[in-house]
Amino acid sequence: KVPYHRRPMLGSEYEQVGAFLKTVAFAAAPTFLKEVFEYNGTNVAFRTTAPHGFQSGDRKSWFIVFQNVSGFFVHPVGLEVLVDHSSLDISRWVVSRVFYNGQYYRDMVQLESAYVQGRISVEKVRKAPRDGDFSSMKPRAPSAALFPLQYEPQGPRYSVRNNHVLFQAWSFAFGMSVNTGLRLFDIRHKGERVAYEISVQEALSVYGSNCPGGMSTRYMDGSFGIGRYASPLVRGVDCPYTATYIDTHSLSETLSPSKRKASLCIFEQNLGSPLRRHYSNSQSLYYGLGSPLRRHYSNLQSLYYGGLVNSALVVRSIVTVGNHDYVWDFIFYQNGAIEGKVQATGYASSSFLHGDGLRYGNRVWEHTLGTIRTHSINYKVDLDVGGVKNSLVAHDMAFEMARAPWSPEQQIERPRLTKKVLDTEDQAAFRLQSKMPRYIYFAANSKNKWGHQRGYRIQITSFAGDHVPEASSMERAISWARYQLAVTRRKEEEPTSTSIYNQNDPWTPTVAFANFINNETITNEDLVAWITAGFLHIPHSEDIPNTVTVGNSVGFLLRPYNYYDLDPSIYSHDGVFFTSEQDFTACEINPIACLPKTASCLPNFPPFTYDGFQN
């Protein structure tokens, strides 16, 4: 059973709190609001914080007041109100505390009294126009030459049927969880299952500030609904213009599902660089020096070029939860690798700049403090490498000292391979900032042609900030973020690393991930990898009007490691190879030479449509 106080806040409760603030709380300070903010009932916006208090059962929320303009997240006015809305009887809701410009007050009545008596230091904020002025997303330059576009000369090379996708050697099913967002199932390469499930689990952000709302904020976006807030996508910007756009559905707060049109896209992307290549130009080196330094038999025949365009399939959704926009990608490469990636954009969250505010961020506008925060993203990766039963193996390197066999008086420092099987869940739980083996992989019971265990390697891209101290009373609710990687036995009773109920009662978490790690053996078992990637964000002036994705991308790669006998992309139809003795301008030798004929016509682009404002 889940106590009722753990429930996420519904839209109706937000509306009720908004009405309480306007009709009850604000009614107690009419002079202050009128003279300081020119308050007219519509020119302020509220933003809630979470979790709601300090102990189980609390439902007390700071509501931060902003100017009600476009991009209001960076227009704080200095007023924050703590509302106790724990009672199911709205008439019993009260204001527990008020904060204005660095000072705390018992309630709005005391704030009004102090203002009327001239005992308040007032910091008037310049009234912003409705478009937000500096926070407006409207371009400051006129449109000019069109940016480059991608298109498929002979149509898509992938297929989508219901929620099943086929692309070259790949096949998988996709879905959208209302709570956790994009997820994939039954991922296969060359017909063999690689993973049963790859899914987003949670997006956590922990804020710092010298204002009460900012300093108490720890958003767990799954509680608000990552999939629920999937945005309708804009052709040509959010995804390539000719991508396949798919509607998603969610059931939340209503008795019938809601549809979000074009909120998921699938496309093949030419990444503009080779997946692999080699240009053999060694002849001049060998023969110019009089004697060969290395033997390269191809030079006895001819020079050559061999390469493969890096074209990959991308499945994408973009989610807007409050001020944050997350671009979620799963990417499938021709060499059997899978990438999970998230890019962060949207507006920076902010506090009103006062006192020692610069200890908690950078000043980004006249009264706006861009507040420091950490972002942590958790994924579930249920790999099935060569079957359900796997083991976890770590490979790394160490230098060893050796005498040169041909010159024993000389010493050589040479790197060697280190190997270790990680037998238990405790050994496979790597703390966030700890050193982790650079090659760590799920190993199958089968071997490849060369006698190595077939495997898939986990490679994490992350520059996470520090985790909340474990002494914190709420840390167990987000204990998955302790680990950059934790591998556990797969259990039906451990389907997710967290719960939507953890947000509003983190002090008695409904799911505590730390409990998953109990030193059970993980050798030759059905295993799950829980991956955490994150970044520290210290907002700066270039986060105005909002944050760019460049440099704010983290995630992981799953790469075949002795899984095949050779690189499977050698069988790709996209390969290019020609020698110095061939006519590389002939289509039958080099398909790239045919592009002036096969790709010379512009595609018929469908009309631009957008349904985001109808949802």
605 vs 349 pLDDT, higher one: 349
Residue 295 confidence (pLDDT): 35
Residue 609 confidence (pLDDT): 82
Residue 592 confidence (pLDDT): 85
Q: Among 220-234, 296-310, 481-495, 527-541, whose mean pLDDT is lowest?
A: 296-310
Checking if the pLDDT of 614 tops 80, the result is no
CA angle 209, 212, 218 (to 5 degrees): 70
pLDDT-based confidence at 550, cuts 50/70/90? very high
Q: Among 107-111, 128-132, 381-385, 584-588, whose mean pLDDT is lowest?
A: 584-588
Residue 27 confidence (pLDDT): 96
219 vs 251 pLDDT, higher one: 219
Helix (H, G, I), strand (E, B) or coil at 247: strand
For the stretch 27-36, pLDDT in tens is: 999 999 999 9
pLDDT-based confidence at 301, cuts 50/70/90? low
Residue 430 confidence (pLDDT): 98
Checking if the pLDDT of 290 tops 50, the result is no
DSSP codes joined into one string, 148-216: P----TT--SEEEETTEEEETTEEEEEEEETTTEEEEEEEEETTEEEEEEEEEEEEEEEE--SSHHHHT
All domains of the chain in start order, with CATH: 4-135 (3.10.450.40), 163-285+301-561 (2.70.98.20), 573-601 (no CATH)
Checking if the pLDDT of 600 tops 60, the result is yes
> Once rounded to an integer, what is the mean pLDDT over residues 204-225?
97
pTM above 0.85, yes or no: yes
Residue 574 confidence (pLDDT): 93
293 vs 3 pLDDT, higher one: 3
For the stretch 558-582, pLDDT in tens is: 999 999 999 999 999 999 999 888 8
> Once rounded to an integer, what is the mean pLDDT over residues 70-98?
97
Checking if the pLDDT of 284 tops 70, the result is no
Calculate the CA 319 to chain-centre distance: 10
Q: For the chain, what percent of residues have pLDDT higher than 70? A: 97
Residue 253 confidence (pLDDT): 87
> Once rounded to an integer, what is the mean pLDDT over residues 475-488?
98
Distance separating alpha carbons of residues 491 and 499, to the nearest angstrom: 16
pLDDT-based confidence at 283, cuts 50/70/90? low
Checking if the pLDDT of 296 tops 50, the result is no
Residue 608 confidence (pLDDT): 83
Q: Among 176-190, 244-258, 259-273, whose mean pLDDT is lowest?
A: 244-258
Q: Residues 122, 36: contact at Cβ < 8 Å?
A: yes
> Once rounded to an integer, what is the mean pLDDT over residues 429-450?
97
Any idea which residue has 């302020």 for tokens? 44
Residue 615 confidence (pLDDT): 54
For the stretch 488-518, pLDDT in tens is: 999 999 999 999 999 999 999 999 999 999 9
Residue 99 confidence (pLDDT): 98
First-to-last C-alpha distance (Å) of the chain: 34
Averaged pLDDT of the chain? 94
